[in-house]
Structure 1
Amino acid sequence: MRMGADRPKQFLPLLGEPVLLHTLRRFAEPTLQVARLVLVLPADQFATWQQLCAEHSVQIPHTVVAGGASRWASVRQGLAELKAHAEGVVAVHDGVRPLTPLTVINNTYTAAAEHGAAIAAVAPKDSVRGLSKDGSYALDRARLRLVQTPQCFELNLLRRAYQLPELPTFTDDASVVEDLHPIRLVEGDYRNLKITTPEDLLLAEALLQAR
C-alpha cells in the first residue's frame, strides 16, 4: 500500500518535523562541506514548504527551484541553478530519504571526485527472480545491487549527460550518465530508507529514536 496521506510524502511529520527537513539537515552537516543546497519541488508546493520552514524556524541556507514533469526534467532544472559553478561534484538525492548516514554521503562524494560518477547501492537480501513470457527464472543476487541515493557526479559530466534527449530508460541519474562514463558503486546502507509506504515512516521513526 502506498502512502494514503493528505500531503506529499516529503512533508509528512517524522518525529515532529517534515521528512524533507530531516533530509536537508543531513546534507547541511558542516563536516560534509556542501557549498550549495538546491531543493527541487513542484511549483504548487513552494508555499507549503515556506510555511513549514517558518513553523520549524529553518535556518539552513538553501534555494528552491521548480521541478519538471519527470525526474529527469526536475534534475535538469536543479542543474540549471548551478550554472554559476564551473566545476565540482554534485549529489542528487531523494527528498524522502531522511536517514542517509553521513558516511554514505561522504563516501559517495569522495568516490565521484576520484572516478567521476558514483552511486550508493546495497546487495539484495532476498532471492530475486526475473519475469519471462513463460513464467520466471532465478537471478544471481550476488551480481545484483539495489540502487539508493545519493548519486554523485562530476558537475560537467552530469551537465553533458543532461544535454542529451530524455529516454524512457532513464530511471535515475546513473542511467542518464552511464553511456558517457562508468558508474562506481559505493556501499550504501539498509537504513537509507526511501519513505514510500506507512510502514516505511514507522520504521524511520524507530531508527531515529534508536540513535
Structure 2
Amino acid sequence: MSSNKYAIVVAGGSGSRMQSQLPKQFIELDGLPILFHTLLRFKKADESIQLILVLPKAHQAYWQSLCEKHAAVAQQVPHWLVDGGQTRFQSSQNGLARIEGDGLVSIHDGVRPFVEATVIQNSYQTAQTLGSAVVSVPSKDSVRVNGVAVDRATVRLIQTPQTFQVSILKKAFETEELSTFTDDASVVEAAGFPIHLIDGSYENIKITTPEDLLFANMLLEKYRD
C-alpha cells in the first residue's frame, strides 16, 4: 500500500446554528479563522499529509480572500480546493475523487480545530494496520434509547477524524447515498468493512453553536497558559 497520507477537511456549514451570517468555519479564534486552525493541526501532526479542502462553491472566493489576508499562515497549509456537495456524503465523495492511487485518508470536520496531534497520528497508524480508525469518546451522561435506559459504558460518541485506507473508502463510496449515512464510518460499515474505534478527546469539540464558541475561547486560554 502507498505511504501517501491525505486529509479531507469538510467545511460546508452555513452558520445558522451559530446565529451568525458568517459561515462558522470562517469565524475567528484568536485572530485567525477556525478553518486555518484546523488545517494547521494536520500539518503540525505530520508535514507529509496532503490537504484537500472541501468548500461550497459559493464560499470559495471568500476563502481565497482570507488566504490572501493571512498569507503567512496559508503558505503553511497548501491544499487542493474541491467543490462541496449538497450533503456530507457528496462532499466527502468529491474530496475522495481528488485522490489518485492508494494510501491513507482522514476525513475531518472543518470546525474541529482542537484535534490533538497524537490523535491524528494514531488514526493513521491504526488505519494502516486495521483499515479504519474512527475517533470516539465515552459518553459522560446517562443514555436512553426510545425512552429505555442503556448501559452508558457501551456508548461511544463519534468524532472526527475518521481515517481509512483509500481503497476501502473508495469502494464504500461507490454505493448510492442513504439517509442512514450519518458520517463516513456509516458508509464504510454499510459496505461490509469493520469499523475500529480509537480514543479521542473531549476537547476535540465541533464548533456549531455560540456555546461551543465560548468553550473554544476557554480552550485557547488554556493553551496559552
**In structure 1, what is the Cα distance between the partners aligned to 2:47 and 2:187?**
26
Q: Choose the corresponding residue for 2:200, options 173, 184, 188.
A: 188
Task: Report if the CA contact (8 A) 2:43-2:49 is conserved.
Answer: no
Task: Report if the CA contact (8 A) 2:42-2:49 is conserved.
Answer: no
Q: Choose the corresponding residue for 1:64, options 81, 89, 98.
A: 81
**In structure 1, what is the Cα distance between the partners aligned to 2:108 and 2:48?**
13
2:58 aligns with: 44
Equivalent runs, 1:131-146 vs 2, <5 Å: 131=146, 136-146=147-157
Give 1:20 deviation, angstroms.
0.4
1:7 aligns with: 22
Q: 3-state DSSP class of the match of 1:37?
A: strand
Equivalent runs, 1:63-102 vs 2, <5 Å: 63-83=80-100, 86-102=101-117
Task: Report if the CA contact (8 A) 2:162-2:185 is conserved.
Answer: yes
Q: 3-state DSSP class of the match of 1:90?
A: strand
Amino acid at match of 1:73: Q
TM normalised by structure 2 equals 0.88
Q: 3-state DSSP class of the match of 2:50?
A: coil
Asked whether 1:161 is paired with 2:163, we answer no
Aligned-residue Cα RMSD (Å) equals 1.1
Measured against aligned partners, the alpha-carbon deviations of 1:121-179 in whole angstroms (never above 9, x if no partner) come to: 00011111112xxxx11011100100000000000100000001111100001000013
1:150 aligns with: 161
Q: How many aligned positions are there? A: 204
Q: 3-state DSSP class of the match of 1:149?
A: strand
**In structure 2, what is the Cα distance between the partners aligned to 1:108 and 1:35?**
13
Give the share of equivalent positions with the same residue, in percent. 50
**In structure 2, what is the Cα distance between the partners aligned to 1:63 and 1:28?**
14
Q: Extract unaligned runs of 5+ from structure 2.
A: 1-15
Q: Choose the corresponding residue for 1:206, options 193, 218, 224.
A: 218
**In structure 2, what is the Cα distance between the partners aligned to 1:56 and 1:48?**
12
